[in-house]
Amino acid sequence: MPRNLGIRPRTLALVLLALTMAPALAGAPSHPYTVLADAGYDLVVPQMATNDVVGAAEIREVMDAYVATVDAGDLDAWLALWEPGGIQMPPGTSMRTGITAIRAGMRPGFTQYDDDIRIDVLEATIAGEFAYARGTYTLRMTPKVGRRGEFGDLTTVDGKFLTVLHRQPDGSWRIYRDIFNSNVPPR
């Protein structure tokens, strides 16, 4: 009978996910992964996971909703894409843990600017109840009429991101962890 090593099931799942993703992240050949083309995205599915093309479309829907809510300036709708305990790791500042901290950190961007964001998902990988999307972004921030934004006048930033998603009990996906950084050097 196996012994309980004191590892929580969620921790074990994350370790297994990391081990599953490690070869792909290190640039190793895709074997033993299955690559499926899905409307411009590469869906890389470990053989031990289900080839979940429907899940890939749902991940694309989350990323499309991310763009739509940022462009609309709708902070509440954008936050609805997150798990309550989500963690955001933006550049140049501390981690934001939980919706309250993420809201506080993102409020200036949503209230001071009209944003136009483009996200290109280069890869979507699904492994059980977790998935990640990796890609690039371009964000154009224009101060709202009559305001000067915290970051100055018109700002355009391009960068890259890695977003981990978690499948919810109803089958939908929400943002679980998000890290992004700019290709533009700091001023």
Q: Express each pLDDT in 35-51 by its tens digit.
A: 444 444 444 444 334 44
Cβ atoms 41, 124 nearer than 8 A: yes
In our burial notation (b when 16+ CB lie closer than 10 A, e otherwise), range 118-142 reads ebebebbbbbeebbbbbbebebebe
User: What is the rounded average pLDDT of the residues 98-109?
Assistant: 96
Q: Where are the beta strands (DSSP E) in the chain?
A: 33-38, 41-46, 82-89, 96-97, 113-127, 130-143, 155-167, 173-182
Cβ atoms 110, 144 nearer than 8 A: no
Q: Express each pLDDT in 48-62 by its tens digit.
A: 344 456 667 888 899
Domains in the chain and their CATH numbers?
A: 9-182 (3.10.450.50)
Neighbouring-strand partners of residue 130? 127, 166
Are β-strands 41-46 and 113-127 bridged in parallel, bridged antiparallel, or unpaired? parallel
Q: Express each pLDDT in 111-161 by its tens digit.
A: 988 999 999 998 888 888 999 999 999 999 888 876 665 656 668 889 999
Q: What is the pLDDT confidence band of residue 101, given thresholds at 50, 70 and 90?
A: very high
Q: What is the pLDDT confidence band of residue 83, given thresholds at 50, 70 and 90?
A: very high
Backbone angles phi, psi at 48, to 5 degrees: -75, -15
Return the pLDDT at 34: 38
Return the pLDDT at 45: 43
Backbone angles phi, psi at 91, to 5 degrees: -75, 150
